[in-house]
Each structure stands twice: as structure tokens, then as C-alpha cells.
């Protein structure tokens, strides 16, 4: 179980598969570099970034799902740890940011949609919402996507949100973390913070 969480009341948590750009986004949000590896599964414990004067922390949870060179037992253990962490701190998490790769997310979801299987991204989205955590899906790497609106509409459809995606701008945020283009995400996060009367945290987003 992840035991490293600083003693902070408010939290924004980043979740998502390996290699979708969570650590890059974390660096963009905090201005602080974390160890990221070229290979999946490098972030094995949560990375927490807290601002000393503020009762607030941003957490980058380890990537889940398939990772080449990582055995299934270990992958399941990480996923279980993430689930337990989110359940334990659900009341503290003001917003969860589910990061997906805009270029590959539809293919990945469709490939893992057997009759008895819910794909990780869809499962995590509904799990977070079931916990009562406001959730924003940060659709990263949008610079690699040609059919932008079509792709985002398809993602809404897979997540059980009625397209068109533009009516879900508090939930679906197309970004390019590597280029620092994350304004739609910041706006969505601010909306959720405002609803929880935490405008004091706007300066971080």
C-alpha cells in the first residue's frame, strides 16, 4: 500500500495507464521534474507534490494496465494499490484527472472490450465517479490526432457520455502536455474547485 502521502487535506490526483504522459503533465502543472522513464512502469509509487504553505497536494499515481516486461501479478498489485488509495482518500480528492492518450485510447478501449471485460480507462472513469470524485479526462497527445472532434466524440461514447464532446468541457479536456498546452484542463479543474469553494487553489491551475 502507498504510505507516502503527505498530511494534506485537499488533493488533485492524476490517474491513467502507463505511458500516457501523466508525469509530463505533472511537470507542467507543478514546474517540478519527476523521475520518468522511457519504459512503462517506472513510476511505482505515487509522486506527491505539495506546496508547504498550502493544505493541498497534487499526486501522480503509478500507471496501470499492460506494461511490457512487467508481469501480470505485479500489474494487478499496482492496480489494487491505486484502487485502495483512491477509496481511502476519496473525501480528500477534490478532482481526479484521468489521463488518456488521444491517439490510441479508442483502439485500446475497443480491443479490451470483450463480453466480460470493461477496459481499464472506462472502469477507472466510472470507479472515480462512483466514489463521488469529480473527474476530468485529460485527452493528451492531441497534436498527433487528425480527426479531433470525431475522436473526442468517440471517447465520450465509450465513457457513456452522450456526444458531442463539446457539451462535456468540464469532463473532457483535450491537451498537449509536452507542448504546455493544457488550458482546457486547467479550466475544467477550476470549475470543479469552484463548486467545492476552493478558489484559493486556482493559482495552481
Angle, vertex CA 156, rays to CA 90 and CA 86, nearest 5: 15
pLDDT band at 66 (very low <50, low <70, confident <90, very high): low
Does residue 100 lie within any of the structural domains?
A: yes
Does residue 106 lie within any of the structural domains?
A: yes
Element at 101 (helix H, strand E): strand 93-101
Query: pTM, whole model, 2 decimals?
Result: 0.92
Taking alpha carbons only, the member of 12, 71, 80, 72 closest to residue 47 is 12
Does residue 2 lie within any of the structural domains?
A: no
Report the pLDDT averaged over residues 141-165.
96
Report the pLDDT averaged over residues 25-44.
70
Does residue 202 lie within any of the structural domains?
A: no
What residue numbers bound the domain in which 141 lies? 10-197
Domains identified in the chain, total number? 1
Q: What is the mean pLDDT of the chain?
A: 89
21 vs 27: CA distance, rounded Å: 10
Does residue 159 lie within any of the structural domains?
A: yes
pLDDT band at 118 (very low <50, low <70, confident <90, very high): confident
Does residue 32 lie within any of the structural domains?
A: yes
pLDDT band at 6 (very low <50, low <70, confident <90, very high): confident
Count of helix runs (H) and strand runs (E) in the chain: 6, 6
Does residue 203 lie within any of the structural domains?
A: no
CATH number at residue 36: 3.40.50.300
128 vs 87: CA distance, rounded Å: 9
Does residue 84 lie within any of the structural domains?
A: yes
Amino acid at each position: 500500500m502507498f504510505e507516502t502521502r503527505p498530511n494534506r487535506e485537499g488533493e488533485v490526483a492524476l490517474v491513467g495507464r502507463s505511458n500516457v504522459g501523466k508525469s509530463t503533465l505533472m511537470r507542467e502543472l507543478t514546474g517540478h521534474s519527476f523521475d520518468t522513464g522511457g519504459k512503462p512502469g517506472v513510476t511505482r509509487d505515487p509522486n506527491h507534490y505539495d506546496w508547504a504553505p498550502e493544505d493541498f497536494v497534487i499526486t501522480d499515481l503509478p500507471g496501470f494496465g499492460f506494461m511490457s516486461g512487467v508481469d501480470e501479478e505485479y500489474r494487478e498489485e499496482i492496480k489494487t494499490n491505486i484502487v485502495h488509495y483512491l477509496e481511502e482518500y476519496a473525501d480528500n480528492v477534490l478532482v481526479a484527472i484521468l489521463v488518456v492518450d488521444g491517439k490510441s485510447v479508442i483502439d485500446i478501449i475497443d480491443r479490451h472490450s470483450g463480453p466480460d471485460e470493461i477496459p481499464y480507462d472506462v472502469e477507472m472513469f466510472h470507479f472515480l465517479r462512483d466514489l463521488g470524485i469529480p473527474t476530468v479526462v485529460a485527452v493528451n497527445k492531441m497534436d498527433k490526432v487528425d480527426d479531433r472532434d470525431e475522436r473526442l466524440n468517440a471517447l465520450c461514447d465509450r465513457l457513456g457520455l452522450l456526444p458531442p464532446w463539446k457539451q462535456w468541457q468540464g469532463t473532457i479536456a483535450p491537451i498537449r502536455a509536452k507542448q504546455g498546452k493544457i488550458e482546457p484542463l486547467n479550466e475544467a479543474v477550476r470549475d470543479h474547485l469552484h463548486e467545492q469553494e476552493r478558489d484559493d487553489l486556482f493559482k495552481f491551475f
